[in-house]
Each structure stands twice: as structure tokens, then as C-alpha cells.
Amino acid sequence: MNIPMICIAVLGLLCFVLGLNVSIARTKAKRGSGCPTDPKDPLHKAIRAHANTVEYAPALMVLIYIASQAQMALWVMWTMVVVTACRILFVLGILTTRTMARPNPMRFIGALGTYAGGIALAVEVLFQALGWRVM
């Protein structure tokens, strides 16, 4: 089983499924463009979930791919899995909450995991580029 490729596929799938979700929400709202500002509005939440995913998933996909091209430490593999799970958790935190105006534990954990995991993967790729090895 190729864990990095699975993580990349899940992140890519998340981008496209959320894009489809925005199109469906626009159809239901009969709104072809723009974004409502009401944090309770399903279209607003769909747009934010997709936009935020598109902001982070591509960078994570590239970092996962590059990090997987060398001998990986176990922590790198787990970081890939955790950061992918955190992106899903973040999206669920947006789409399942009653309103985005209030803090949400799923969004918080998802964002924190995205930042920490993304930074860790970026540092790993930098260390690979410099020929340094971290285990």
C-alpha cells in the first residue's frame, strides 16, 4: 500500500468533491455567483470549505509527493496521514456546524494539524534538499 499516494488522492478528491458541493449549493440557492456573508448559510459554508481546501491541499500534495521520493522516517509517513485527516476534519468542522461564527473544535484541531503537519513536511523536504537526515 502506497500511503503517500493515498493521501495525495484523498486531498485531490476532497478538492473536487467540495467544488461539486459548491455547484450543488449554488443550484439549490439559485445563485450563480458571489458568496453570501451569513455564516449560517449553506452556500457560504460550502464556498469556505472549498476555498480553504484549495488554499492548503495543493501545497500539501506537493510536499507529500516530494517527501515520499526519498527514504522516509516513520514520523514522516504518519505526518502525511495526520495532515490529510486534519484537512478532512477541518472541512467537517465547517460543513456540519450550525454557524461558522462560533469556534468549532473540529475546525480548530483541523487547522492546527494542517499548520503543524504542513510545517513539518516542508522542513523535511528542505532537509532532504540540503542532504540532512532527520529521524
Q: What letter would DSSP give residue 84? A: H
Residues 61 and 67: beta-carbon distance below 8 Å: no
Q: What is the pLDDT of residue 36?
A: 83
Instruction: List, in order, residues 6 or more apart from 61 with CB less than 8 Å away.
Output: 8, 11, 12
User: Structural domain boundaries of the chain?
Assistant: 3-130
**Helix count and strand count (H, E) for the chain:** 4, 0
pTM of structure? 0.92
The string of DSSP codes covering 47-82 is HHHHHHHHHHHHHHHHHHHHHTTSPPPHHHHHHHHH
The residue to which cell 488522492 is assigned: 9
Q: What is the pLDDT of residue 32?
A: 79
Domain 3-130: CATH class, spelled out: mainly alpha
What is the rounded average pLDDT of the residues 6-30? 95
Residue 2 has pLDDT above 90, yes or no: yes
CA distance 56 to 14: 11
Query: How long, in residues, is the chain?
Result: 135
Q: What is the pLDDT of residue 35?
A: 81
Query: pLDDT tens, 50-81?
Result: 999 999 999 999 999 999 999 889 999 999 99
Q: Which residues of 1-135 form beta strands (DSSP E)? A: none
Query: pLDDT tens, 77-114?
Result: 999 999 999 999 999 999 999 998 899 999 999 999 99
Q: What is the pLDDT of residue 30?
A: 82
Structural element, H or E, at residue 91: helix 74-95
Q: What is the pLDDT of residue 134?
A: 67
Q: What is the pLDDT of residue 135?
A: 63
